[in-house]
A and B are shown apart, each in its own frame.
Chain A
Amino acid sequence: MKNLKLKSARAALDLSQQQLADKVGVSRQTISAIEKGDYNPTVNLCIAICKVLGKTLDDLFWEG
């Protein structure tokens, strides 16, 4: 399932996939795979993404 919350949170900060990837310390393809729902990140990576985007785990990764 696509992670549109992550995509919109990234877009809200006007960050490209590459910029977010650089800040988190992963490849652009990894961010792309998470947004497309092709890859389930570990909790460590989720936390790193949340810190960069100023969001909580619930905001980005909890499907309520």
Chain B
Amino acid sequence: MINIFWAAGFVVGFLVVIVLSLLLGSIFKKKKQDKSERTQYDERQIAARGKAYKTALFTTFGYFIIAALIDVLGIKWAEISIVLFIGLFLSVGVFVVTALFSDAYFIDSQKNIGYPIIALLISLINGGISVMNIMDGESLITNGMLNIDSLNAVVCVSLFVVSVLMFIKIIIDKKAVENE
């Protein structure tokens, strides 16, 4: 039985994060425009971005087809909300990693070291929350299915993978400049 206050808090919290992200993003963009530092992307980067969107889209298609087939077979491995959130994180993660490795956005990854550090910090915070929940006696699995409490663990793993790949990209870029 879902506690209505907990569910309302979850939804409101999620919406607040989205609204804050959009707000901060627009402020950051405006600030850059004011300073006439608006990044101009070249033709290869724009093409690479399209490829990243396409890869993410087809990954999402593939994931939901597989998830639907597994459901039809009667194998229930996660609550529907978790199935959807994993699909969302997977598609965003694939887009970020594809864009990152094709340099679709960042020209100099060395100057953007803050992003992997932020991703790693958020990952660790979510991991910590997940561990605290487990220590409080809450299970991540109900009736053999991942429940909504496992969301922090899912975020932790997703962002950890993304942050590690970001660090690897920084090393690759550094070596590419050295070997030029």
Contact = CB atoms under 8 A, between A and B. Distances in A.
A52 interface: no
Contacts of B107: 27-29
B55 interface: no
B40 interface: yes
Contacts of B149: none
Interface in A21-63: 25-30, 32-33, 39, 41-42, 44-45
Contacts of A42: 43
A3 interface: no
Nearest to A17: B180
Contacts of A18: 177
Contacts of B40: 25
B180 A26 contact: no
A16 interface: yes
Contacts of A39: 44
Contacts, number: 33
A30 B180 contact: no
B176 interface: yes
B133 interface: no
Q: Taking chain A's interface residues, is the majority helix, strand, or loop, or is none over half, making it mixed?
A: helix
B117 to A, nearest CB: 22
A27 B180 contact: no
A27 B43 contact: no
Contact of A27 (B45, B176, B177): B45
Contacts of A29: 44, 103, 107
A19 B169 CA distance: 22
B34 interface: no
A30 B176 contact: no
Nearest to A24: B42
Interface in B23-61: 40, 42-45
10 contacts: A17-B180, A25-B42, A27-B44, A27-B103, A28-B107, A30-B43, A32-B180, A33-B44, A41-B43, A41-B44
Interface of B: 40, 42-45, 103, 107-108, 176-177, 180
